[in-house]
Amino acid sequence: MPFESRGKETLRIALLAAGPLSSLLYVVFTDGIAASQWAGYRRTEQMVSELLAVGSPGYQVVAPLTWLYTVLFNAFGLGVWTSVRGHRALRIGAGLLTAYGLWNIMGALFPLRLGDDTSIPAHIVATNVQLGLMVAAMCFVEAGFHGRMRAYSIVSLALSALMGMVAFMAAPGPNLVLGVGERISIGAFLLWVAVLAAVLWKRPTAIDSKGASS
């Protein structure tokens, strides 16, 4: 393999690796760092968004890590884009993943503020747009694959959407359905990101006229 090609492949792998790293970082800086700063916070009963809210005990610690997550996820989106040349559905999925990552910036511009009900409507709008981008990205990626990756994407999307709706109906809490349901919904997507990265890492050009083979 020519030196230039090896360099491009190394960059592609590094960009894909940013996906699982972003998922790990998200878990660490929410239920790890931020929750530990909040005495009495109940992971099984309270929303993750409370940990990211302005005025929460861990906000000053978690805010910079939120931006790092955004950078890593956008790098992952670019890695997916460079790994799926030749397939329109997967390219659209990669673009939507990048848009999802970029929309994190809007979440930071319109954050939830503890004790300030006026911050809730804008935060809900920003969150719903991001959820729409997430669902659309998973749908297009699912359409671009066949076989096990397609089946896994369908299950992940269904689980994430179902538990997200369950958690939404259980809000504002605190209650067991809200805390656990939201974390299952988020976790399904974070794990899906890691699996997608692994699949594309191994077989970046495994694409034919019917779709990716994994």
pLDDT given for residue 208 in this prediction: 46
Decide if pLDDT at 105 tops 90.
Answer: no
Identify the bridge partners of residue 211 per DSSP, sorted by sequence position: 208
How many folded domains does the chain comprise?
Answer: 1
Between 28-32, 76-80, 126-130, the lowest mean confidence (pLDDT) is in 126-130
Count CB-CB contacts under 10 A for residue 86.
11
| Domain that residue 104 falls in | 3-209
Q: How confident is the model at residue 119 (pLDDT cuts 50, 70, 90)?
A: confident
What is the Cα–Cα distance from 79 to 68, expressed in whole angstroms? Answer: 17
115 in a domain, yes or no?
yes
165 in a domain, yes or no?
yes
Pairing of strands 211-212, 207-208: antiparallel
Count CB-CB contacts under 10 A for residue 11.
13
Show the tokens assigned to 155.
Answer: 């299950």
214 in a domain, yes or no?
no
Average pLDDT score over residue span 53-67? 87
92 in a domain, yes or no?
yes
Across the chain, mean pLDDT equals 88
127 in a domain, yes or no?
yes
Residue from 50, 23, 66, 90 nearest 178 by CA: 50
155 in a domain, yes or no?
yes
Between 47-51, 72-76, 121-125, 158-162, the lowest mean confidence (pLDDT) is in 121-125
pTM assigned to the model? 0.89
Cβ atoms of 148 and 116 closer than 8 Å: no
Q: How confident is the model at residue 157 (pLDDT cuts 50, 70, 90)?
A: very high
Q: Mean pLDDT: which of 64-78, 107-121, 200-214 is highest?
A: 64-78
